[in-house]
């Protein structure tokens, strides 16, 4: 490669826009991995057909390592966007191995899961520094004012990064997505059921509008 | 039934500390079993650091913290960003997760239960 070719390659590399990277955040069991898996199923390319999906469980902290899904090309309403989506472990301020024992795990399994869960939370917090935006997934049957939600929203506002709030689990009878919208009216919001695929067209439209 | 120490920490005391000092101070005091009420709370980035550093301290004896602050009214202003300040910081309560439990929280009320018995 000649001098000018090398120079051109370096200049192009310098100005090349990196892939937009969006994090899926929220408390444990909000449905982040269920939503991440659905996005991957809907939009993964043929070349990524073997990309593994995240494991889902009713026991909290099932996702204990962040999983990045690359180059998902999403199309909605005549617009398209290419994103990397990072499914992060659930954020928490406390992790007690006794809670896992109450779910039927042995003491050894519970302590191991607890250790991995703490490492997962640390990884999720570190990812906040490297993202271009966040999809904050909230369980619509829970109080929206949890500290995890308040802290994630505050971080996005402080970093001036885009945020999309998702009220998940609207298929459940006690879901109250309006409470989430009323709690954080300054941010765009969409109500879905990732489990049943409800309102996903609206979700993808909001995703492109917010991160496109 | 044992006593529980409640510390009301002024804005002046915390503002004299660097962010990492604040976080270390809070975790150190909470690990001693204290409940702390911070007059003007932490910035969102400091809150995230507090969560991260708390996770590194978790053991069989220390299961983490309970922390509650009010949601911010609005995004930081242009001047806040320029001067790297947060005029939206509000009162925050933080304590050991096995002694402090949030009963109810909304935009204007944080209701907590303090118990001397470890849960």
Q: With contact defined as beta carbons under 8 Å apart, do A132 and A83 qualify? A: no
Which residues on chain B are in Cβ contact (under 8 Å) with A91?
51
Where do the DSSP E strands lie in chain A?
Answer: 20-25, 67-76, 79-87, 133-139, 163-168, 189-191
Chain B within 8 Å of A121 (Cβ-Cβ)?
yes
- Which residue of B75, B93, B102, B108 is the best one to mutate when testing the A interface, meaning the one whose CB has the most A CBs within 10 A? B75
Please report, for residues A7, A9, A20, A132, A136, the alpha-carbon distance to residue A12 in angstroms, rounded to integers and kept in the order given: 9, 5, 18, 21, 34
pLDDT surpasses 90 at B71: no
At residue A16, the pLDDT reads 52
Q: Tell me whether residue A28 is in a domain.
A: yes
At residue A185, the pLDDT reads 94
Per-residue pLDDT tens digits for A163-176: 999 999 999 999 99
Check CB contact under 8 Å for B55 and A118: yes
At residue A12, the pLDDT reads 52
At residue A65, the pLDDT reads 85
At residue A157, the pLDDT reads 92
ipTM computed for the complex? 0.87
Q: Tell me whether residue A115 is in a domain.
A: yes
Locate tokens 């409640």: which residue?
A: B6
Check CB contact under 8 Å for A158 and B86: yes
Q: Tell me whether residue A8 is in a domain.
A: no
Higher pLDDT, B15 or A54: B15
Q: Sign of the CA dihedral A76, A77, A78, A79?
A: negative
At residue B75, the pLDDT reads 62
At residue A179, the pLDDT reads 96
Q: Tell me whether residue A11 is in a domain.
A: no
pLDDT surpasses 90 at B54: yes
Tally the domains of chain A: 1
Closest partner residue to B44 (CB to CB) among A118, A122, A158 is A158
Q: Tell me whether residue A42 is in a domain.
A: yes
What's the whole-number average pLDDT of chain B? 88
Instruction: State the pairing for strand pair A189-191/B6-9.
Output: unpaired
Check CB contact under 8 Å for A94 and B63: yes
List the helix and strand counts (H, then E) for chain B. 4, 6
At residue A6, the pLDDT reads 62
Which residues on chain A are in Cβ contact (under 8 Å) with B19?
none
At residue B17, the pLDDT reads 95
Q: Tell me whether residue A111 is in a domain.
A: yes
pLDDT-flagged residues of chain A (< 70): 1-18, 46-52
At residue A59, the pLDDT reads 72
Q: With contact defined as beta carbons under 8 Å apart, do A210 and A189 qualify? A: no
Q: Which domain holds residue A111?
A: 16-211
Closest partner residue to A151 (CB to CB) among B44, B56, B81 is B44
Q: Tell me whether residue A3 is in a domain.
A: no
Higher pLDDT, B80 or A42: A42
Q: Tell me whether residue A129 is in a domain.
A: yes
Per-residue pLDDT tens digits for B22-45: 999 999 999 999 999 999 999 999
At residue A60, the pLDDT reads 73
Q: In angstroms, rounded to a whole number, what is the distance separating the alpha carbons of residues A119 and B54?
A: 11
CATH number of A26's domain: 3.40.50.300
């Amino acid at each position: 490669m000649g001098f000018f070719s090398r120079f051109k390659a370096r200049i192009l590399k310098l100005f090349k826009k990196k892939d937009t990277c969006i994090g899926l955040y929220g408390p444990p069991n909000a449905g982040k991995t269920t939503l991440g898996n659905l996005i991957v199923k809907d939009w993964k390319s043929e070349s990524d057909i073997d990309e593994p999906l995240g494991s889902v469980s009713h026991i909290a902290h099932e996702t204990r390592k962040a999983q990045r899904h690359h180059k998902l090309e999403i199309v909605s309403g005549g617009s398209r966007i290419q994103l990397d989506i990072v499914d992060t472990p659930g954020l928490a301020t406390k992790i007690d191995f006794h809670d896992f024992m109450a779910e039927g795990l042995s003491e050894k399994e519970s302590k191991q899961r607890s250790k991995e869960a703490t490492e997962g939370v640390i990884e999720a917090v570190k990812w906040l520094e490297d993202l271009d935006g966040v999809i904050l997934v909230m369980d619509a049957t829970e109080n929206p004012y949890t500290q995890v939600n308040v802290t994630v929203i505050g971080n996005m506002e402080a970093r001036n990064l885009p945020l999309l709030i998702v009220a998940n689990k609207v298929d459940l009878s006690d879901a109250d997505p309006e409470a989430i919208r009323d709690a954080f009216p300054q941010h765009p919001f969409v109500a879905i059921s990732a489990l049943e695929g409800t309102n996903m067209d609206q979700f993808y439209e909001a995703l492109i509008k917010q991160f496109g | 039934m044992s006593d529980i120490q409640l510390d009301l920490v002024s804005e002046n005391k915390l503002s004299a500390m660097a962010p990492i000092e604040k976080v270390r101070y809070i975790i150190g005091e909470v690990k001693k079993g204290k409940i702390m009420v911070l007059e003007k709370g932490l910035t969102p980035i400091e809150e995230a650091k507090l969560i991260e550093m708390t996770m590194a301290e978790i053991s069989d004896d220390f299961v983490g913290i309970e922390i509650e602050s009010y949601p911010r009214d609005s995004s930081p202003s242009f001047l806040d960003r320029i001067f790297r300040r947060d005029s939206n910081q509000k009162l925050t309560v933080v304590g050991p997760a096995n002694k402090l439990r949030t009963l109810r929280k909304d935009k204007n009320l944080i209701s907590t239960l303090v118990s001397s018995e470890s849960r």
